[in-house]
Amino acid sequence: MSQERRYSFEFFPTKTEAGHEKLLNVAHQLAAFKPDFFSCTYGAGGSTRDRTLNTVLQLEREVNIPAAPHLSCVGDTKAELRELLAQYKDAGVKRIVALRGDLPSGMGMASGELRHASDLVSFIREETGAHFHIEVAAYPEMHPQARNFEDDIKHFVHKVKAGADSAITQYFFSADCYFYFLERVQKQGVDIPIVPGIMPITNYSKLARFSDACGAEIPRWIRKQLEAYSDDTASIQAFGEQVVTEMSERLLQGGAPGLHFYTLNQAEPSLAIWNNLKLPR
């Protein structure tokens, strides 16, 4: 496992021109801190395919930080995936975040020629060899659709063996769950870097809804404190910044190979944590 730490920021493609301009402004702000790369999400069933592509190409071209598109296989044919990979390769993109992807609303089961993230990883390797550094997702608190922890660990190991170079975790608020997950997968022979995903806390109600949907646990003591602040935004943000900074510090002290910030297209919350940690950039 590489000992060099890496830091990255994640964006989502926007629907409006104003939102896109804001995203680029935020990217320029974050670029000053010299992250290793930016990533850009991919909507359920490929619903943001063109917006993700355009955002990634613009980040590469105008912000001059390597950009990593999310790529999912749900709802996409091999031909569509092959075309996207060719476009990214021709544009000089070197990193892909390979995911199964979320199911579009109303779709009861995965569709498309590739059904699992491990299938997508294998497909990318078959099509492009070693051109792309392939990231996969990791779920320290278990994927919300997994039958049990053992199955989830098995699926993660399968993705790694299919050709993944490193992994980014779902966000969490307990460092213990990350270290326990790391211990379990390392016993299964996994030695790739697994970078913790960091979610700044700025709005409790949105965080609670999102966490319930994606299976990320908000510890009871954090929930209760955030609930007690009610609509006091300043107190929520100050408390959230402290909690996430202290957890991030513990992760790095415990050997985490870097941090991946879920920015929600905002600069300040992630940079507050970055500056608190005095990251050496």
Catalytic residue among 10, 60, 135, 241: 10
Distance CA 69, CA 53 (A): 7
3-state secondary structure of 217: coil
Q: Which of 71, 67, 29, 45 is nearest to 274 (CA)?
A: 29
Active site residue 10: yes
Contact 276, 245 (CB under 8 A): yes
The span from the CA of 247 to the CA of 167, in Å, is 19
| Cβ contacts of 204 within 8 Å, gap of 6 or more | 226, 227, 229, 236
Residue pair 13/51 in contact (Cβ under 8 Å)? The answer is yes
Radius of gyration of the chain (CA): 18
Residues annotated as part of the active site = 10
